[in-house]
């Protein structure tokens, strides 16, 4: 299993929470629904809850000195955010923003999460496992960023997109982009200009094809190098 590096894997930690969720949690804390561009929290907000993405997608980032937005990651279904709260962080260092409509978030108060981690073994095991996996992905991502050129980084990024959010289409895979080229540029450590040029190259080489601005079609994943 070699899952995405740039977009975090979509697994069902959700399942793990379900037994708990449906008992008493859901009644008192229904899922919150966010629309595109709604913020879950901002930089510097006090940390009160950890969040579980039940549906949709969330962007994590911060603003640099010049006020430019810097994207760190996109999180999909099953991913946790704000989990550093469990290690004592009390202010968010990043903002979290929904990038899809109907993004459903299950919120869990920090104390509750700690209680759950203590009393409910599967929950705590899953947390541990996921931190390990996340570490592994970060290592791989770091290696790609350090040792590959911009073109390879973009290619790896697109491949991961295919794995994570791709749907079969004709002979290959289709991806619906909910992010812009500057977001991609930030994620792979390239300039927006480079990303734009590289995409044009890849399209000319027939490795990818764009439908409008929102969809990429990859005819053959193997041939994408």
We find the least distance from the C-beta atom of residue 102 to DNA, in angstroms, to be 14
**Nearest-CA neighbor of 208 among 200, 197, 217?**
217
We find the least distance from the C-beta atom of residue 189 to DNA, in angstroms, to be 17
We find the least distance from the C-beta atom of residue 210 to DNA, in angstroms, to be 6
Beta-carbon-side half-sphere exposure of residue 150 (alpha carbons within 13 Å): 16
| Tokens 């979509």 belong to residue | 10
Give the DSSP letter of residue 24.
Answer: I
**What is the rounded CA–CA span in Å between residue 28 and residue 24?**
7
71 vs 224, beta carbon nearer DNA: 71
**What is the rounded CA–CA span in Å between residue 142 and residue 6?**
11
47 vs 186, beta carbon nearer DNA: 186
How far is C-alpha 202 from the geometric centre of its chain's CA atoms?
Answer: 24
46 vs 212, beta carbon nearer DNA: 212
We find the least distance from the C-beta atom of residue 193 to DNA, in angstroms, to be 5
204 vs 222, beta carbon nearer DNA: 204
Contacts of 160 (CB under 8 A, 6+ apart): 4, 5, 6, 7
We find the least distance from the C-beta atom of residue 74 to DNA, in angstroms, to be 14
61 vs 82, beta carbon nearer DNA: 61
52 vs 202, beta carbon nearer DNA: 202
Angle at 207 between CA 201 and CA 213, to 5 degrees: 70
Name the site residues for DNA (rule: CB under 7 A).
177, 180-182, 192-193, 196-197, 199-200, 210, 212-214
We find the least distance from the C-beta atom of residue 212 to DNA, in angstroms, to be 4
**What is the rounded CA–CA span in Å between residue 83 and residue 93?**
12
Give the DSSP letter of residue 175.
Answer: E
């Amino acid at each position: 299993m070699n899952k995405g590096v740039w977009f975090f894997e979509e697994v069902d930690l959700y399942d793990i929470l379900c037994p708990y969720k449906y008992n008493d949690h859901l009644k008192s804390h229904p899922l919150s629904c966010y629309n595109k561009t709604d913020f879950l929290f901002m930089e510097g907000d006090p940390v009160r809850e950890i969040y579980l993405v039940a549906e949709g997608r969330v962007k994590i980032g911060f603003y640099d000195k010049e006020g430019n937005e810097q994207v760190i990651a996109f999180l999909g279904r099953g991913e946790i955010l704000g989990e550093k709260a469990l290690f004592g962080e009390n202010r968010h260092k990043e903002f979290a923003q929904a990038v899809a409509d109907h993004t459903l978030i299950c919120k869990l108060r920090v104390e509750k999460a700690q209680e759950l981690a203590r009393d409910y073994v599967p929950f705590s095991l899953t947390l541990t496992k996921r931190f390990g996996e996340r570490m592994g992905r970060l290592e791989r991502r770091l290696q790609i960023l350090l040792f590959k050129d911009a073109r390879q980084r973009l290619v790896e990024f697109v491949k991961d997109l295919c794995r994570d959010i791709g749907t079969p289409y004709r002979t290959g895979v289709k991806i619906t982009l909910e992010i812009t080229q500057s977001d991609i540029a930030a994620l792979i450590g390239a300039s927006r200009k480079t990303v734009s040029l590289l995409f044009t190259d890849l399209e000319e080489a027939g490795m990818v094809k764009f439908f409008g601005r929102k969809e990429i079609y990859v005819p053959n994943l193997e041939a994408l190098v």
